[in-house]
Structure 1
Amino acid sequence: MKIALISEHATPIPAHRGEPTDAESLHLCNLARNLARLGHRVTVHTRCTDPRISGRTRMGRGVVVEPVTAGPRRPLRADEHAEHTAAFARGLTDRLRSDLPDVVHAFGWSSGLAVLAATRDLACGLPVVQTFHSLGVSEQRVGLPAPPQRLRLEAALAQHAGAVLVNSADQRFELARMGVPRSRVHVVPFGVDVDHFTVEGAAHGPWQRRRPTADRQLRVIAVTRLDPLGGADALIDMMVRVPDGELLVVGDPHPDHLAIDPNVQRLERRAKEAGVNDRVTLTGAVNRRELPRLLRSADVFVSTTAYDPYGGAVLEAMSCGLPVVARAVGSVTGAMLDGTTGVLLRSARPGALARELRHLAADGTQRTAYGIAGADRAASRFKWPRVAAETERIYERLLSTASRLPLAAGDHA
C-alpha cells in the first residue's frame, strides 16, 4: 500500500534525529516507521520549515519525507498556518499527482483543509483519513485561543473524511456532539517506544537512581510545558507539603536559555517565595536519547497539566516503570488505570497531590506494584507497532469499502 501522511504544521525529522520535539512529530515519525515495517511505502508531506532541508529526506527503508514550500521556511505560530494553507494545498496537489497514493491521511485541521482541496483538484476519489489530536472546542474549554472558523472546519472535515482517528474517548464524544457519526470515528491512542523507554537501564551522571530512605528524598519528576497550562505552579506549591521530596521539572527551553525564559523566571520566583527553591530543579528541554535515563532516576511521575490530548509523557513514564499521579484530563484517562498503574485525580490541588505522594513515599510495595502494572500496560496496549497495525486496519477497511462503491459517471472516463 502507498500511504501519504500529511502534516502542514509538524515534521517527523526532529523525532527521527532524537531531538527534543513535540508530540505531533513523534506520532508522524513512529507511525511512518512502523507502517513501513508492515510492508507499506510511506511518504510524509510536510511544510518546509528549515531552509537547509528543501529536498526529500529518507527516514529508513520505506519512509520518505517530502517538504512542500509554502510560506516562510521557518516554524509558524498557530495563528499563521491558515494564511499558507492554500499554497500548501497547491504544492501537495502536485506531489500527489506525480505519485498517486492508495490512501491519504491528514493530521490536524489545516492539513485536512489542504487535503480536501488537493483531492478535489485531483478528482480521483482518493480515500481520506483525518486525525484530530486536539479539537478547537476542547482547547477553548481550557482557555486556549481557537478561532471560530476552526471549529466549523473541524466538523466539516470530519464529515467529509472516510474515517476519523482520535486519541481518546473524550474526543470521540466531542465529535459526536458536532454531529459526526460514531461509526466513522475510531479511537487509536498515542503510542510509546517501549524499546527506548524501558524499566531496565542506567541513570548516569547527576541522575543516579534514588530511593526514599530515612536519609534520602523522594524524587518526583514531571515532563510538561512551563506555562500556567502545564501545571508546574501547582507542583511547586505541592512541594511545600512534601518536605522530604525533591522535584525535577523537564520541559520547554533549551538549557542554555533557562536564565532568560519568562516562564522559568516565574517558576523560580514562586519556588523561592515558597521556600522550596533548593528542592526544585528546572532542567529545560532534554534530548530524547537521554530522557529515559532521567525518568529512571525518579521515584514517582506527576502530571498536573490542564490539557493533554496525547498522554505521551505519562506513557513514557509508565514504560520506564514509574508509578504515576496525574490529573484526569484528555488522553491521560485512557493511558492510566486508576488504582492499578497509579492514581488519577480530578484536580491538581497541591494538597491532594502531596497527600498521594506522601502515601507513595511511605509504601514502597505500592510504588513497585504501580510501576510493574504501568510498564506492562504500556507494552501491551500502547507500543507503536500496535498503533500502526490498528491504523493499517482502518486503511484496509476504507479501501475495501471504496472498492465496492459504484463509480460516478465522471469516473468512467
Structure 2
Amino acid sequence: MRVLFLAYAHERGLRADAGGHRKLWELAWALAARGHEVRVLYPRLPGHAPLRSVPCRAYPVLDARWLRPLTAYLAMSAGAWRLGRGWRPDVVYFRSGANVLPPLVARTLGAAPVLEVNADTLEFHEVEGVGALTRWVWRTLEGVNARRSAAIVALTPGLKRMLVSRYGVPEARVRVIPSGTDVAHFAPGDVADARRRLGLDPAAALVGFVGIFYRHQGVPTLLEALARLRAGGVAVAGLIVGDGVPRAEWEARARGLGLGGAVTFTGQVPYARVPACFAAMDVVAAPFTAGRGETSPFKVLDAMACERAVVASDLASVRPLAEASGALTLVPPDDPAALAAALGALLADPARRAALARRAREFVVARHAWDKIGEALAAVLAEASRDPRAG
C-alpha cells in the first residue's frame, strides 16, 4: 500500500517537532516499518526538517502571518498532485483543518482521502477567543472535508460522536485510533541526572507540566494548587515546560501567588530534552480546563511512557485512558483545592507513586507504542483504499 502524508504547520513560532506535526512522521515511520511505501510532504520553513527516516519532500511556504496558511495549502496540494502523478498513492492522509484541497487532489489521483481529526476545533477556538466568523468558516470547511473523505480517523470516541452528530458522517466511516508515543524516546530516566542538567534542586519535591501554552491547558489551576500546597507547609516546586501566548500572563500569576522563586518556566524545549524534563518531575499534572473540549491527551501518554505518576482533569477525553490503564489520578477540572489534595497525597506516598508510574509505563508500551498504532492504522487505510470513492 502506498500512503502520502500531508504535513503542515499553521502557528508561527511553534517548534517543528511539536505535537501533531511530529505525529504524522511517526505514523509514516510505523507504516514503513510494516512494509508499506510512504511519502511525507512537509513545509519548507525555518527549523522544519525530516523527523523520521522516511522518503519525503519539502514544499515552499511564505512565512508571513496571512500568507503562511494560504501558501502552505496551495503549495502542499500542488506538491501532492505533482508527486502523485508518477507515484500513484493509494491513500492521501491529512489532518483536520480549513484546507479543502487534499480530498480533491486525492480524488484526482484515484486515491482515498483519509482525514485525521485530533480535536474539536470549534470548542478549541471558542476557548481561545477566536471570532465567530472564523469559527463558522472552520466549521463549514471541516464539514466539507469530513463528508468528502473515504475514511476518518478520530483520536477519541467523543470525536467520533461529534463528527457523526455535527456533520452527518456515517458511523461506519469513522474509526477510533488513539494517539501514540515513542516508548524508546519517552522512557524512564535518572531523576538526579535530569535535575542536574536542568539546574534544579535534587532534593525538592517537584510537580511539572509539559505542553503548548493554550488556555485550555489549565496551568493557572496548577499554579494555585502549588500555592495552596506551599501555604500548607509542603516544600514543593513547579516546572512548567512549554511556551505560547499566555506565558507572560501565567508568569505574572505565579509571581502574584508568591511562587516567583518556586516555579520555573523553561520556554520551549527541544524534543530531545523533553524526556529529561519528565524524569525530573515527581508528579506530572495535566490540569485541563472544563472547556478544553474533546481532544487526545497525547502529552499524558508521553508522561506515562516516562514512568511518571500523572494527575489529570476528569474529562470525557481523559477518562477512558484512566479507566483502561488504572494508572491516572483524576480530579475535577478547574478545582485548585482538589488538584492540590491529589498532588499532596502522591508526593507523600512514594510507594504508591512508583506503583502508578510503573503501571503507566507498562500500559503505554502495550497499547500506545507507535508500532501498535501503525498496525491499527494500516488496517483502516487498506479498507479505505479498496473503495476510494466512498464519501
TM-score range, shorter chain: 0.7 to 0.9
Residues 326-384 of structure 1 show CA distances to partners (whole Å, capped at 9, x for unaligned) of 11346433433389212122313111100111211222232122112111111111111
SS in structure 2 at match of 1:115: helix
Structure 2 gaps of 5+ residues are none
The aligned runs of 1:5-404 (5 Å cut-off) are: 5-9=5-9, 21-50=17-46, 59-60=52-53, 63-69=54-60, 71-72=61-62, 74=63, 81-82=69-70, 85-111=73-99, 113-120=100-107, 122=108, 124-145=109-130, 146-178=134-166, 179-201=168-190, 203-204=192-193, 206-207=195-196, 217-243=204-230, 244=234, 245-252=236-243, 263-306=246-289, 307=292, 309-329=295-315, 331-337=317-323, 340-401=326-387
Question: Residues of 1 paired with 2:297 and 2:353: CA distance?
Answer: 20
Q: Which amino acid aligns with 2:122?
A: V
Deviation at 1:58, TM superposition (A): 9.2
Measure the CA separation in 2 of the matches of 1:51 and 1:95: 23
For 2:239 and 2:75, how far apart are their aligned partners in 1? 43
Q: Percent identity?
A: 22
Q: Is the 8 A contact 2:207 2:239 kept in 1?
A: yes
Q: Which whole-Å CA distance do the structure 1 matches of 2:213 and 2:72 have between them?
A: 29
How many pairs were matched up? 376
CA separation of 1:294/1:309 partners in 2, compared to 1, >3 Å: closer, same or farther?
Answer: same
| Gap runs ≥5 in structure 1 | 254-261, 406-413
Secondary structure of 1:282's counterpart equals strand
User: Shift of residue 143 of structure 1?
Assistant: 4.1
The 10-residue stretch of structure 1 (340-349 or 317-326) with the greater mean CA deviation from structure 2: 340-349
**CA 1:275/1:47 → structure 2, altered by over 3 Å: closer, same or farther?**
closer
Q: TM (normalized to structure 2)?
A: 0.85
Higher relative contact order (CA 8 A, sep 6+): 2
1:164 aligned counterpart, secondary structure: strand
- 8 Å CA contact 1:10, 1:24 repeated in 2: no
Q: Which amino acid aligns with 1:7?
A: A
Residue range with higher mean Cα deviation, 158-167 or 393-402: 393-402
Cα separation, 2, equivalents of 1:76 and 1:7: 18
Distance 1:383 1:339 in 2: 14
TM-score computed with the length of structure 1 as normaliser: 0.81
1:372–1:171 CA distance, 2 compared to 1 (3 A): same
Contact 2:181 2:302 in 1 (8 A): yes
**Distance in 1 between the 2:51 and 2:261 partners?**
46
Q: Compared with structure 1, are the counterparts of its residues 197 and 205 closer, same or farther at alpha carbon in structure 2 (3 Å cutoff)?
A: closer
Deviates more, 1:313-322 or 1:42-51: 42-51
Is the CA contact (8 Å cut-off) linking 2:4 and 2:91 kept in structure 1?
A: yes
Tell me the SS of whatever aligns to 1:219: strand
Q: Which letter maps to 2:8?
A: E
CA change 1:370–1:52 in 2 (3 A) is: closer
Deviation string 1:8-27 (CA, Å, 9 cap, x unpaired) is 3379xx99xxx773212220
SS at structure 1 position matched to 2:378 = helix
2-structure distance, mates of 1:119, 1:349 = 46
- 1:38 offset after TM fit, Å? 0.7
Q: Quick check: 2:241–2:267 contact (8 Å CA) kept in 1?
A: yes
After superposition, give the CA deviation of every residue in 1:216-259 in whole Å (9 maximum; x if it has no partner): 54210111333533322221111121122111100017xxxxxx
Pair 1:48–1:192, CA change in 2 (3 A):
same
Residue type at the aligned position of 2:209: A
1:339 & 1:382 partners in 2: Cα distance? 11
Counterpart secondary structure, 1:277: coil
What is the alpha-carbon distance in structure 2 between the residues aligned to residue 267 and residue 195 of structure 1?
32
Deviation at 1:88, TM superposition (A): 3.8
SS of residue matched to 1:189 = coil
Cα distance, 1:80 vs. partner?
Answer: 5.3
Distance in 2 (CA, whole Å) between partners of 1:338 and 1:100 is: 40
Residue 265 to residue 127, structure 1, CA distance change in 2 (3 Å):
closer
Aligned to 1:256: none
Name the larger-Rg structure.
1
SS of 1:3 mapped into structure 2: strand
Q: CA deviation at 1:283?
A: 1.4
How far off its partner does 1:132 sit? 1.3
Deviations 1:369-410 (A, max 9, x none): 21121111111111111111111011112233459x9xxxxx
